[in-house]
Amino acid sequence: MEESDVTLALLDSANDKDPVVREQVRKSILTLGKQQPNKVLSMCQDYLVKHPKVRHHHCYCHLLLISYCVEQRLEHYNRKSPVSLAIHAELDDISYPKIKSIISLASDEMTRSKDVVPDWQQAASNILVAVGNKYINDIMEEILSKFQPGILPHFFVVQTLASLSESNVYGMVPFLNAILGTMLPMLGMAKQDNMKWVFSSALSHFSESILEYLANLDKAPDPTVRKDTFSSDIYAAYDILYCSWLQSRESKLRLTVAEAVGSMSHLMAHDKLEEQLPKLIPTILSLYKKNTEHYVISKSLCQVLDASVNMGSRVLETQIDSLLTTLNQQVCAPVDYSNPLTVKNHNEVLRCFSILANTFPDRLVMFVLQKLENSNERIRMGSLAVLRHLINSSKSIMETKKLLILASIRQPLADHSNKVKKRVVQVISAMAHHGYLELEGGDLLVKFIIQHCALPDTYYVRLSYPQSVLCSMLYYLTVILCLSLQVLWPMLLYYLTPGQYSNATTPLCKSLTLLGTKKRASQEPNFNIDFNEQVNLPSPHILMVRLLVNGSFPFRSRGHGAPSLSLLNVISPNIHPNAETLWEKEIPALLSYLEGKGPPLNDPRVLEPVASYFLAKSLVAIADDKWSCQLAIEATRYLSTYNQSLEEKGFLYRCVGVTLQQCSNKEVVQKQLQEILISARHNDAMERAGVAMGIGLCASSHLDATLAKLDDFGKSDAFKKASGIFSLLKDKNDLDVEKMKSTLILCYGYVALHAPEDQILSRIDSDILRSISNLYLLLFPQALYKDTFNALQELLRNILARDLSPDGLQSVFKHIEEWLSSGQDHERERAMNTTAHILEFYFNNLHVKNMVTFHNLGSLLGRLAPRCTDPNPLVRRAAIDCIYTLLYIHDQLISPNDQLISPSDQLISPSDHKRLPQQQLNTLIFMLFEGLVDSQSNCSRASSVLLNTLLKHRGAGLQDLVSEMLEVLHIRLQMISEEQVKVSVAQSILILATQHLQTVINTLISYPLPFDSWSCEMWIALGADSKLASQIMEMLMEKLNIMVPYVDKKESMMRGGLTKVATSHPLAMTCALKEMMLNGQSQDAVVSLFPQLFSSLLVRLGSSLGVTLPKDINIILIEGLTPLSVCSWVCRVAVEALRILLARAQLDHVVKPLDQEGAWDKMKDPQQHITGVTLLARAMAKHAGPRLPAIVECLCPCLNNIYECQRVTITAFFSELLNHHVVTELMMMDVLMNNMMERISDPCCTVRMLAVRGLGNIAVGSPEKVHMEGGGGGGGVLALRGLLNIAVGSPENVHMEGRGGLLENDEIRCASIMLLGNLSKFGSGEPVFKDQIHNVLVSLLLHLSDPNLQVVKACKYAMRVCAPVVGSELITTMFQNHLHEDKSLHYGEFINDLTKYLIQDFPGMLNFYHITVIQFFKSNWAEVRAGWDVSVPFDYLCSLNFTSTPGRDVSVPFDYLCSLNFTSTPGRDVSVSFDYLCSSTSPQHQGWALFHFNSSQFRKYTEIPILFNAFQ
């Protein structure tokens, strides 16, 4: 059969029903097409021509085959290949006429039907697009013939144009201008949604093609194409799409239109886009609610934002709030990674955030960080995703935000959500790549990764995050950081030794090996670790022990053996220099075994001896006895770390024994043996074996010392508890003794095994066997003791039988009770047995008919109850029996006819009428207080436990006894030595506080000052419960803020003056807060109340400055107090409390610089207090920025306090905050600036000075706030006006001088005037600044003659730098030439010349200057009046022109005019009298003739109206 027949048969089968057959047909035709392209294409074409009525689907198959064949040939055309000639030869296999015929066929097939038949017409369109990749001109000729003006084109004609613009950008863009011109009128003709859709899609593709063309003009055929070529057509199309089509009800059309609008926005003229943005952005945002599919909307929004930012849009700022809100909702939506569109939408939203970050970095970062504080899981995950994206995509913008981000990321670190943790890990990865970890706080991020590497495997199932990912993450951090940062070395070593990080050992060792290898190879100095300096790191001895134990159990903790040994090899110089050579040889051999290259070492029984031998060889190589002794000491201490891993602990015992072999120091050997024997847990067989192995190995070198220590241990008190007649009745303690005996015997066995043969044989009989036999000797009681004891019991029974009442029982018991708490075991045992005997006798012989009060029940219970935990088991058992008998007696006395109830129900059950009566409960509690100091620690602990139980259940009814109980506890604390009992007493105080909070607080506050150590312990106890601590702190702060901090008292009757004396209660409350915060468990309360605590203590600090102690305080009891420091103790308390607050809130990075700069001492010194507070504010601004807004909010109301010292402290704090940019980032600038403006009028001079300083600091901390370009800085203008009003004492403030105003202080005048000069840098272009300079010019001239030299220099500086603002070149030149700080000034001539320039350049300002001069003549300063008396030239006065408003009267004081002294030259005194003025013939003086009055008339007038006309 010929090829043509085969092809024809295949074409007939192209529409087979079976898809498998159709696919095979397609492949076969393609294979033939490679060999005979022209022939196959011709046959396909002929088939379609000859069968015009073929079914659409069959036709579609043939068109598809043609498309495949053409595309297959054209793929070679587009592919870059070294054999380009061959490629073009293959392309030329299809003749040009054939190409033309294919184009015609495809075009006809595509438009044959007016209806849209997607598959068939799309296949034809694909042929045209494929051919158009090379023959674009022929394609366009054919397509444009069917794209005529005024006629709505076929759907697929427009679709093909769109596809061509995408597949052949450089070929299509030159046609697009004409196409757009033809298309625009068609848009209005499109009525059906499908045509609107295809036009919108085409416009989107056209816009993207144009943008790609313009972005690659260097490769384009026509580099003269510009964006504005298309702008007008694009905007016209946009107008139709936006105004009409975007409102369609069809969601698919809306999305396509939105996509087109996004692409078109880049091509619109800037002014048009700026005009549309206020409408366009809200419209796009609203589409999110109308459509379930959001990707296209986000893409469009991203393009619009990109275009807006690129052109520097100003309108975008008005939309930022709605943008951020909507984008946040999108980024917080769950991402379905099985749905690509949701992933794409998420990425586009992140791109939107990146674009906005370029224009609004501060606002965006604060928005994201605030969202991190939200506890909602989705919001926090979304914010973390944005933060990660910004860190990666906006490095330069985020550079200044690193510390703020580090501070804000701490809260998500503590999130319990596993999904949030996954996002946090991703953020940490990004932060590591961009240098965050090297900053302060970066170590917390590393710790977070390590903590999660160390979690158990079961956790990762819940986390749905593979453990290997986190471990790889740690290694990845190491790779990133090892070449540029020092943050991981040697910090990671810290995490090797704590048990909680054991599961992270493998990644830690790998990371440290990588770091150490690189540092060691490059010989970096910091490879060698100074362990004395790095106090937080484990010692080299512990590191060696830990890594060696890991290597001995290599397949545990996720295979930590090989990484541990590798790390040990790398850090060998840091362990000991002498080990380096040996380990480089031995450790690789061990590693090869672990990797399976040698004999199998999977069995620990094989590995342990190998590791022990390695340790022994290492110690020999190290040859440093002192180092080996230290290794033994630290390894012994480290044993407890392996309490949960007994096999590892057993191996560590072996290591200790090997190490002790090499120690020559006998004292160290004996001490470590003693430590091992005492601290071992003898109940565990595996640990007993480990102890015995270690001691046996030690005996191989120290036999005598080992045997001696074992003998001493066998004779110790620990083995005596099981001796005596009752040894058969063993309780738990006796069984423990038996286990200890087992340990000791096992030790002797290992000693015999490992000791040198020549020494051990002679010692077996004399030492080992003798010691073992002594362990089991029993001592029998004497018969005499038994007879005596029986006689005593008989005597007491006889006495009690005479009076079987509660009083009779008490009369017998009082002779026994003191022995119950004896320090001797046998005495307590005998006393307790006797008590049990008489109680049993009493109960058996008791016959009660009527109810009797058992008034001494509480006393008896209080004595007996603690003995229930006595170390002596016989005492314990007898005590329990006594308690039961006693409670049965009580039940019988109060209810003679009732059935007996269980004693356990009688003490604390609130519902039972037979429970312990309240009065007896009171007695019981106070007896238990005595039990807190029992000679037996077990009993004192029992007293505390029982006491707390009673208080917890029945303490609510002890309201009247709270104060007394606290006082008893205070006394008992002074005698308690047992630490656990102290803890229980603290718990008692805590329980009382939960029930009677106000009473407890009032009682403790009333204790004498200074608090003794026991009072302090009671306050510290109240900090243990964070919820209760919060309540107490709030109560104390509330009272502290309203109580009088001090009173003014006369120093003595002889001397005047007042002394500030502290009031007791506020001082006690400050001490109480300090003590409570010393409790580490108060941290949550401190953190939650940090702003309030900080502000209260800062205010307290201010009011404690210079305050003396009350007379009722015994200063002898104050530790470290000297006569010179008496006055500072009140302030010291506040300072210490503030420092503890910062430390408890984990602000060590704030405390550290304050310690280094001596800020705490400066805060206590009245002379340096402001400096100290300034340092505090500086440290808070630098290291605790996010906490400041709440602090400022708390402090603001205190600025109105009546106490001047408090206002000084707060103003100093606020003033320094304004020196730092963080206040702008946290949006506190306006609040602080407004407060400083209010303080300018404060009655206190120091407060005003600090306010001026604060406003000046704005120029440093937030210069953009001071700069007022464009009139956008309304706050800046207000601040500027206020500063200028006070800067040099402008006329409206002149009259403040006489009553203690700003100008009375030289430093304030100098600082204010310097500030005026500095502000000129920011306000030089503002009209308001020029006006203000003219307002204060007269004042500046006045202060040129100031008596203070520094003020004069400041005036010269300010006038020189402000000269360009005045607006006169002559004056500017004059100021620049004459006003130098280091040169003298001829004041009179300078004023004379300056006046002439003012008259010449500013004639309209002369009236203002005149009025200003007049006001200064009223000054209370003689220097001011004198200065102006010699500085007003007569010619200047005569030149005044009062005609700015014709007919307006200006009142001039007549006496002032008569007394004026005009001098044009220094030394020349021209007195101008009234007669002179009246008789003057000068035209300038003729106006004065109107006022020729006699002297008596002058005295009648205080001022004379001068008409403007008189001076014309």
Please determine, for residue 722, whether its predicted confidence score (pLDDT) is greater than 50. Answer: no
Of the listed ranges 264-273, 871-880, 1315-1324, the least confidently predicted one is 1315-1324
Per-residue pLDDT tens digits for 331-348: 999 888 888 999 999 999
pLDDT at 48: 65
Beta strands in 957-1097 (DSSP E): 1046-1050, 1058-1062
**Residue 64 or residue 1358, greater confidence:** 1358
Of the listed ranges 120-129, 639-648, 780-789, the least confidently predicted one is 780-789
pLDDT at 663: 92
CA separation for the pair 4, 669 (Å, rounded): 102
Longest dimension (CA), the chain: 147
Please determine, for residue 895, whether its predicted confidence score (pLDDT) is greater than 60. Answer: yes
pLDDT at 1249: 85
pLDDT at 1188: 93
Phi, psi of 1023 (to 5 degrees): -90, 0
Of the listed ranges 100-104, 130-134, 256-260, 768-772, the least confidently predicted one is 768-772
Look over the chain and give the mean of its residue pLDDT values, rounded to a whole number: 77
- The model's confidence at residue 755, banded by pLDDT at 50, 70 and 90, is confident
pLDDT at 351: 94
pTM, to two decimals: 0.48
pLDDT at 1271: 41
**Residue 122 or residue 718, greater confidence:** 122
Specify whether the CB–CB gap between 390 and 365 falls below 8 A. yes
Percent of the chain with pLDDT over 90: 21
CA separation for the pair 1057, 1051 (Å, rounded): 6
- The model's confidence at residue 66, banded by pLDDT at 50, 70 and 90, is low
Element (H, E) at 1496: helix 1495-1498
DSSP state letters, 1066-1088: HHHHHHHHHHHHTSGGGHHHHHH
Phi, psi of 1451 (to 5 degrees): -85, 125
Tokens 């003033």 correspond to 1215
Per-residue pLDDT tens digits for 1142-1193: 999 999 999 999 999 999 999 988 889 999 999 999 999 999 999 999 999 9
Specify whether the CB–CB gap between 385 and 346 falls below 8 A. yes
- The model's confidence at residue 1006, banded by pLDDT at 50, 70 and 90, is confident
- The model's confidence at residue 43, banded by pLDDT at 50, 70 and 90, is low
Specify whether the CB–CB gap between 956 and 995 falls below 8 A. yes
Please determine, for residue 1465, whether its predicted confidence score (pLDDT) is greater than 50. Answer: no
pLDDT at 1273: 41
Cβ neighbours of 1451 (radius 10 Å)? 10
Percent of the chain with pLDDT over 70: 75
CA separation for the pair 369, 106 (Å, rounded): 58
Please determine, for residue 765, whether its predicted confidence score (pLDDT) is greater than 80. Answer: no
pLDDT at 290: 87
- The model's confidence at residue 596, banded by pLDDT at 50, 70 and 90, is low
pLDDT at 477: 53
> Whose CA is closest to 1101, among 1209, 1251, 987?
1209
| Average pLDDT of the residues in 1221-1228 | 88
How is residue 276 written in tokens?
């549309």
Residue 1452 neighbours by CB under 8 Å, 6+ apart: 1414, 1503, 1504, 1506
Of the listed ranges 635-649, 1033-1047, 1495-1509, the least confidently predicted one is 1495-1509
pLDDT at 578: 92
> Whose CA is closest to 333, among 348, 345, 322, 351?
345
Tokens 């200065």 correspond to 1427
Q: Between the CA atoms of 1128, 1134, 1136 and 1139, what dihedral angle is there, to the nearest 10 degrees?
A: -130
Please determine, for residue 1213, whether its predicted confidence score (pLDDT) is greater than 90. Answer: yes
> What are the CA-CA distances from residue 69 to residues 33, 42, 93, 104, 108 (Å)?
6, 11, 12, 16, 19
| Average pLDDT of the residues in 1348-1377 | 86
| Average pLDDT of the residues in 675-704 | 90
Please determine, for residue 242, whether its predicted confidence score (pLDDT) is greater than 70. Answer: yes
Phi, psi of 684 (to 5 degrees): -100, 125
- The model's confidence at residue 1370, banded by pLDDT at 50, 70 and 90, is confident
Per-residue pLDDT tens digits for 267-310: 999 999 999 999 999 999 999 988 888 999 999 999 999 999 99
Please determine, for residue 410, whether its predicted confidence score (pLDDT) is greater than 60. Answer: yes
| Average pLDDT of the residues in 354-373 | 90
DSSP state letters, 1110-1157: PTTS-GGGSTT--GGGGGGHHHHHHHHHHHHHHHHTT-HHHHHHHHHT
Please determine, for residue 198, whether its predicted confidence score (pLDDT) is greater than 50. Answer: yes
pLDDT at 1455: 42
pLDDT at 1496: 33
Cβ neighbours of 59 (radius 10 Å)? 24
> What are the CA-CA distances from residue 438 to residues 404, 477, 1156 (Å)?
14, 12, 22
| Average pLDDT of the residues in 1064-1084 | 91
Specify whether the CB–CB gap between 1311 and 1256 falls below 8 A. yes
| Average pLDDT of the residues in 14-24 | 68
